[in-house]
C-alpha cells in the first residue's frame, strides 16, 4: 500500500547510520542535553545562516517560547493566518494573548500582506488590544511573502515570528527559510520536511539576548547554575536521541530535497493542464512539505479524494477547517466573512503524496489516476 509520507522507506535507506547514531546515545547514556544536541544546533544555525539555534521539545513550544521571550500576553494582539495548523493560534492563546485571524492568498496559501495591514490598522484604531507581533507561516513548505510582511511589521513596530514548522529547506532568492523572522521556528515532528522520531522543534535568531532567554526558558527558567531559577519557564528540551536522529537526517537532507523537487516538477508538468497546481513565485523555493492542488469546488475535491482512495492512493485535506471555524476559537467571535479565501481553500484543496522515496511507478500511478478523474 502506498504511503502518504513513507518514513519506513527512509529508515531502510538511512538505517546503517541511524542505528549507529542511536547506539552511541544509548551507550553513553547522556539522554538529556547530550553532545549531539549542541552539535545539531550549530549545524542548523549554519545551514539557515543565523547566529543562534536553540532546540526544544516541539514546534508548538518553539512558537510559545518566542512569544514568552517578547513578553507577549494578556491584552496583546498577535496576527496569524486563518489557514494553518491549529498550533499557530494555540501558541498565542497559551500565553494569554489574542490571535487576530488574517486571510491568505489564493495562489500561495500564505498570509495576505494587504489584509494583514488592514487588520493591524483595525486593531490599533479600536484600541482594545495592543498589536505586538505577526506569525507568518510557510504553509506546505512555501515561504510567506516576507518582503511585504516586513513592510507592515516595520510600519507598525511589530515583531515578526516565522512559523517555519513546514518550511525548513525553502528559500526566497537564496535566503533560507527559518531566517526571515526576528525569531523563526521549525518543527521536527516526524512528517515534517526534517523530522525526528518523536516530537522536537527549534528557534532561530540573530539576537543573542533572545537566544539566551530561550536557553533559560527551555530549562525551567534556569540562571547561571542549574538550581537558580530566574523566571518561570518550561521543561522543553530536545532529547539527545532525537538530536542524533536529526544529525543523520540532516546529512541526507539536501539530496532528499533535490528529489522532492524532482517529484514536484514531474507532478506540475503532468498535471498543470488538468488541475490547479501549486504556485512557486519567482525566486521562491519550497521544502515541499506538501504538494497541494486546488479543485473547483468541495464536491469535486471530495470526489477526487475518493477516486484516488479507490485506486489505493492516499491523499489528505490540509486543512478542512479554517481557524475561525474551530470550536476552540469560538470565543474570538470572528464573523464568517473575516477570511473568505481561507474558507474557500478549506473546501477545495487536496494534498497528494510527496516525499523523496516516492518511486517513479507510484508517481506515474498518481498522475494517471488524476488524468482519469478529470477526463471522466
Ligand atoms: C506542525 C506545525 C506546528 C507545530 O509543530 P509541532 O512540532 O507538531 O508542535 C506549528 N505550525 C505549523 C504550521 C505546523 O505545521
Q: Is the beta carbon of 242 within 6 A of some atom in ligand 1?
A: no
What is the Cα–Cα distance from 124 to 143, expressed in whole angstroms?
27
CB-based contacts of 67-72 (< 8 A; 24+ apart in sequence): 67/91, 67/92, 67/95, 67/97, 67/133, 67/161, 68/95, 68/213, 68/217, 68/233, 69/183, 69/210, 69/213, 69/214, 69/217, 70/132, 70/133, 70/159, 72/97, 72/132, 72/133, 72/159
| Ligand 1 pocket, residue 85 CB under 6 Å | yes
Residue range 331-351, pLDDT digits in tens: 887 766 689 999 999 999 999
What does the pLDDT read at residue 226?
80
Is the dihedral angle over the CA atoms 250, 260, 51, 117 positive or is it negative? negative
The string of pLDDT tens digits covering residues 74-98 is 999 999 999 999 999 999 999 999 9
Residue 333 confidence (pLDDT):
76
How do residues 4-16 score in pLDDT, each as one tens digit?
999 999 999 999 9
Q: In this structure, which residue's CA is closest to atom 5 in ligand 1?
A: 59
* 127 burial type by CB count under 10 A (0-12 exposed, 13-18 middle, 19+ buried): exposed
Confidence of residue 314 (pLDDT cuts 50, 70, 90): very high
Q: How many whole angstroms from 165 Cα to the centroid of ligand 1?
A: 5
Q: Look over the chain and give the mean of its residue pLDDT values, rounded to a whole number.
A: 97
pLDDT tens for 163-178 read 999 999 999 999 999 9
| Ligand 1 atom nearest 139 alpha carbon | 13
pLDDT at 119 over 80: yes
Q: How many angstroms separate the alpha carbon of residue 319 from the centre of ligand 1?
A: 13
- Name which of 281, 279, 277 is nearest 267 in CA terms: 277
Pocket test for ligand 1, best of 67, 86, 87, 322 (most atoms within 8 A of CB): 87
Which of 144, 162, 163, 177 for mutating ligand 1's site (highest number of atoms within 8 Å of CB)? 163
Q: What is the atom index within ligand 1 of the atom nearest the CA of 58?
A: 7
C-alpha pair distances (Å), 272 with each of 59, 141, 287, 368 = 33, 19, 20, 13
> What is the predicted pLDDT for the residue at 135?
98
Residue 155 pLDDT > 90: yes
Q: Atom of ligand 1 at shortest distance to CA of 88? A: 11
Ligand 1 lined by 236 (C-beta under 6 Å): no
pLDDT at 56 over 70: yes
CA 84 to ligand 1: nearest atom: 13
Residue with cell 498550533: 87
pLDDT in tens, 247-273: 999 999 999 999 999 999 999 999 999
With beta carbons less than 8 A apart as the criterion, state whether 242 and 232 touch. no
- Give 31-51 pLDDT, tens digit per residue: 999 999 999 999 999 999 999
Nearest CA to ligand 1 atom 7: 59
What pLDDT digit, counting tens, does each position of 189-220 carry? 999 999 999 999 999 999 999 999 999 999 99
Q: Is the CB of 58 under 6 A from ligand 1?
A: yes
pLDDT at 336: 64
Please tell me the predicted confidence (pLDDT) of residue 221.
96
85 Cα to the center of ligand 1, angstroms: 7
Dihedral of alpha carbons 364, 365, 370, 375, sign: positive
Counting ligand 1 atoms within 8 A of each CB, the residue from 58, 60, 196 with the most, and so the one to mutate, is 60
Q: Is any atom of ligand 1 closer than 6 Å to the C-beta of 162?
A: no
CB 326 within 8 A of CB 343: no
Amino acid at each position: 500500500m502506498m504511503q502518504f509520507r513513507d518514513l519506513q522507506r527512509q529508515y531502510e535507506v538511512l538505517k546503517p547510520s541511524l542505528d549507529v547514531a542511536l547506539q552511541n546515545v544509548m551507550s553513553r547514556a547522556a539522554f538529556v542535553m547530550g553532545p549531539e544536541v549542541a552539535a545539531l544546533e550549530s549545524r542548523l544555525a549554519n545551514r539557515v545562516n543565523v547566529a543562534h539555534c536553540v532546540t526544544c521539545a516541539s514546534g508548538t513550544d518553539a512558537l510559545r517560547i518566542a512569544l514568552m521571550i517578547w513578553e507577549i500576553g494578556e491584552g496583546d494582539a498577535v496576527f496569524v493566518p486563518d489557514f494553518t495548523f491549529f498550533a499557530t493560534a494555540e501558541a498565542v492563546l497559551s500565553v494569554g494573548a489574542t490571535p487576530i485571524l488574517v486571510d491568505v492568498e489564493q495562489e500561495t496559501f500564505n498570509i495576505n500582506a494587504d489584509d494583514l495591514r488592514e487588520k493591524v490598522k483595525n486593531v490599533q484604531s479600536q484600541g482594545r488590544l495592543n498589536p505586538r507581533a505577526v506569525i507568518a507561516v510557510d504553509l506546505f513548505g512555501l515561504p510567506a511573502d516576507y518582503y511585504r510582511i516586513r513592510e507592515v511589521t516595520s510600519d507598525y513596530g511589530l515583531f515578526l515570528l516565522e512559523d517555519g514548522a513546514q518550511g525548513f529547506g525553502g528559500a526566497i532568492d537564496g535566503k533560507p527559510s527559518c531566517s526571515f523572522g526576528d525569531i523563526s521556528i521549525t518543527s521536527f515532528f516526524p512528517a515534517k520536511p526534517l523530522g525526528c522520531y518523536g516530537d522536537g522543534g527549534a528557534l532561530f535568531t540573530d539576537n543573542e539576548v533572545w537566544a539566551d532567554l530561550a536557553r533559560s526558558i527551555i530549562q525551567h527558567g534556569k540562571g547561571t547554575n542549574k538550581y537558580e531559577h530566574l523566571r518561570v519557564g518550561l521543561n522543553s528540551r530536545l532529547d539527545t536521541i532525537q538530536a542524533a536522529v536529526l544529525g543523520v537526517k540532516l546529512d541526507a537532507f539536501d539530496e532528499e530535497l533535490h528529489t522532492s523537487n524532482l517529484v514536484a516538477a514531474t507532478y506540475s508538468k503532468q498535471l498543470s493542464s488538468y488541475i490547479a497546481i501549486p504556485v512557486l513565485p519567482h525566486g521562491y523555493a519550497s521544502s515541499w512539505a506538501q504538494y497541494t492542488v486546488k479543485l473547483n469546488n468541495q464536491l469535486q475535491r471530495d470526489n477526487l479524494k475518493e477516486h484516488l482512495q479507490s485506486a489505493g492512493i492516499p491523499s489528505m485535506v490540509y486543512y478542512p477547517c479554517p481557524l475561525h471555524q474551530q470550536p476552540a476559537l469560538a470565543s474570538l467571535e470572528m464573523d464568517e466573512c473575516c477570511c473568505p479565501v481561507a474558507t474557500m481553500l478549506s473546501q477545495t484543496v487536496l494534498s497528494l503524496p510527496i516525499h523523496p522515496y516516492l518511486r517513479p511507478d507510484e508517481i506515474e500511478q498518481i498522475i494517471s489516476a488524476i488524468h482519469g478523474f478529470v477526463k471522466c
